[in-house]
Structure 1
């Protein structure tokens, strides 16, 4: 990706040279823009990633809460005397003093000066705060070996013939929380049992454990819960290296992508906590650039041009498995000598039927503008050489083709980072059927870093990364009816189309992500069918994990 960055830098230099031309003073208008966005506070070592307590647009007084202990789950106390502040300001403005490492033991004022001389003062206050989380995360009757389902302030025990009159329970709580009465003591769960959970800051929440069966919505999800957010420092990122993400079993997988270095390096992390768990076996695998997962958690990796081994796909059955060569093209004709492998996507089960798609760089930067499509049927790849689709609309470096089915004729989405566009493409004619409206969200950042298609509870969704060099946020759209894809923010149908807005959970990139890259990966639906997880990656920024639930909160 350094090649991409260098090209952008060259263009920026050309722009600056051109900007030196004199402008008639009577037409020279100085900007009055002095709005601060995407504020984030980290610890000095890059861990953290804390946002203001109020959403944008920020007022003149900004408060950022710093957890009492960090990382979450530890008892390591935090301090406010060495925090790193980042934020996005208009190109023509100046922040005085500059953001960076600072002592926020007491409030600090910053003055943002617009090009025309107008100023806006922002006072930033950091506050240490004990956790207010008072949740039952999981609940299990030990002797009966029955898992409860947690819905808001109730835990439902499925109806059973087992005698529940003398049961102990294994309960997982929010970090630092306590529960009363003691669930390890026997209780009669044939009738409701009341519990009080107390957070570290004293916040309390009452729960009732009772017999019952949650009811699913007829279609789609009812709630989205942020499970955790980890910064680039927490996850050990290197600038411009974490470009794609895959899910396998209890883990998420992040390759360290670098076309200039031989070999491959791929880490995997606990997807429940975000903690580093190990390194993927990459014996005999050179130049893995992007990864994706199939519906069973098998990991697919694609190499890059400088691996010098033609276009190769590798597969890992799980994070403990050795890699296997899935496909190797006979020559370079499929990519016409262009760079490839920045994105890869899979739909289906590689042990049965699946479609794998990858892209080359686009014609706008001298690339081939190709989509590569491999078909797997009956667990066997049909051809070592992919079907090649030369895409009808030109793009720059980063694009992603996302299949929506496991048949060779299945439709697919095509997403371009720059210029930003998203299209729904007919899998037979390869023609664009529908396009996302340019105003698919309010105040877009201007680029599309990543995307994913998924199905959940009788509905179809498309998740998109709205990105800039400084911050990115994830949005989810209901695309069950593809004709709705062109819905704009001004439409009366927009609320039913734009079903999740992750703007408040944006990930900032303390080291600007000039390539504006990232990705989205989808975990499996839970065994009971009630939940599924979505993982959102931002290069140079971090990862956020979300849980989607299709339980009707009012239907039991």
Structure 2
């Protein structure tokens, strides 16, 4: 026993001598010392991204609501603001972020690179009032003495346009509006307004800063095709909507409401008014402890709630007539027996898309995770043709992809038996032949077109134009997004490159950036609704760990 121990000791000593002769590889330090991201939150909201910065050279400004939430009486304390951000991997930041920063005075921070170079910033916080018009309506008496209403459209210029048909006189016109409860307006609620001339309308925030809008009655000039005047309808941070960490993954539109799916245990479906973002109610999950990632709408606002079904679990769909339906019916129950023999994840229910009317004819498609398999169900005359799906093998994986990944969407473009469909996964967005399942046309493989990542999809027709709405991500934290509208009426446009002079006729809208905290799953969603006899279209975008933003598009010429 002693001899064996001696041999071990000798061997270790020899090994140590040998290793000590080898020089360690040098560690290469980076010169990078720039902040790649910074945002602010407040006491009690953890890592929620509540306030975004404005930059001017090395000065970082935060305009922080005077009260938070803005319609509460909770006055913001600038001495208890929490800053969070990102720096290069071997850089150091001083003082460290994540604890309270006192922004009552300029707050210096320093980033030091791995090689010792320093970059200095100053953070300045300011409490600001709210001068936004949330909604505004004019009420008047028509020629028959009946009360009529017209909703105003707020323009970025500050003009508020009320579209009045030729020959209409706004008799006894009065305005009503919704503004922040701490703000004041120059015209009283239900105050009389004379639209013979443009009318100034001043909103003053609690900080004393005022914004002047101009109310105008104008005859609408309707476009024959496509979107016209548009506006941001509202934006709500995740904290305003009760978001948890990585839980909110799906958004649906039904009637005057949106429904947010929360993949808690049990899962929940939260209903909000889609014009005001006011909470309406919770829909209990019909799945018990089985998770749900999805409640999606059909073309007319019926809803399908889907269970998450890994291999050998049940994929179940419940149908709701609308967001106020308290008696959903089981629409489908299928055991995911992995009919295609998928060796990867193979789960169903992370993403599902519908085209058509569930009370008439419709197509439902759901990709399987880490595969090139799509499951498809057809609805004819309001009933499923079969509980067992058609198994589609997609033959067009492109740009180096070996599978769809975990999150992909297959969006049918009709309710026909062999409906073509759009496929949207990390490496590609393409229109696919519904018979051969080969790519017919594809987006240009370019991050300028669809970001470093893209995922949710909506397919709609508005004012004689057909649009594909997607969300694109601008960095690999997957927490900064833009909502984009692409005109796909003519399939010849789908492959338009970013450098083409006519690219703007294809990518017709890109929203401002919307940001949240790091989103490891890369989840977001998009849904579309209509109002005023389809003269207005609302597009809602959800970002996991971020919140929801709403945009409205009209068919009126700018």
- TM-score with structure 1 length normalisation? 0.82
What corresponds to 2:501 in structure 1? 492
Q: Does the 8 Å contact 1:287/1:307 carry over to 2?
A: no
**1:192: how far off?**
5.1
**1:231: how far off?**
2.2
**1:293: how far off?**
0.8
**1:440: how far off?**
4.5
Match of 1:518 among 495, 508, 524: 524
SS at match of 1:233: helix
Give 5+ residue unaligned stretches, structure 1: 1-21, 364-368
Alignment partners' CA distance in 1, 2:498 and 2:373: 32
Paired residue total: 509
Match of 1:456 among 454, 462, 469: 462
Higher Cα Rg: structure 1 or 2?
2
**1:361: how far off?**
0.5
| Mapped pair 1:268 → 2:271 | yes
What corresponds to 1:230 in structure 2? 236
What corresponds to 1:424 in structure 2? 431
Match of 1:145 among 143, 147, 150: 147
Alignment partners' CA distance in 2, 1:489 and 1:439: 8
Q: Deviations over 1:267-316 (max 9, x none)?
A: 22222233332211434664322121112221112112259752222111
What corresponds to 2:442 in structure 1? 435
What corresponds to 2:381 in structure 1? 378
SS at match of 2:556: coil
Change (3 A) 1:164 1:97: closer
Change (3 A) 1:111 1:224: farther
Alignment partners' CA distance in 2, 1:116 and 1:438: 37
What corresponds to 1:314 in structure 2? 318
Alignment partners' CA distance in 2, 1:93 and 1:501: 34
**1:244: how far off?**
1.3
Match of 1:88 among 75, 78, 86: 86
What corresponds to 1:325 in structure 2? 330
Q: Does the 8 Å contact 1:282/1:323 carry over to 2?
A: no
| Mapped pair 1:106 → 2:109 | no
Alignment partners' CA distance in 1, 2:470 and 2:552: 16
**1:49: how far off?**
1.9
| Mapped pair 1:154 → 2:161 | yes
Change (3 A) 1:269 1:133: closer
Change (3 A) 1:105 1:425: same
Alignment partners' CA distance in 1, 2:189 and 2:293: 48
Give the RMSD, CA atoms, in angstroms.
Answer: 3.0
Change (3 A) 1:441 1:74: same
Change (3 A) 1:269 1:128: same
Alignment of 1:527-538 (within 5 A): 527-538=532-543
Q: Does the 8 Å contact 2:366/2:409 carry over to 1?
A: yes
Alignment of 1:121-520 (within 5 A): 121-133=120-132, 137-141=136-140, 144-151=146-153, 152-159=159-166, 165=171, 167-176=172-181, 178-182=184-188, 184=190, 191=196, 194-200=199-205, 201-210=208-217, 212-257=218-263, 261=265, 263-283=266-286, 286-305=290-309, 310-321=314-325, 322-329=327-334, 332-334=337-339, 336=341, 338-363=346-371, 369-392=372-395, 393=397, 394-417=403-426, 420-441=427-448, 446-467=452-473, 468-474=476-482, 475-502=484-511, 504-509=512-517, 512-520=518-526
Q: Does the 8 Å contact 2:131/2:179 carry over to 1?
A: no
**1:94: how far off?**
3.4
Alignment partners' CA distance in 1, 2:36 and 2:555: 33
**1:479: how far off?**
2.1
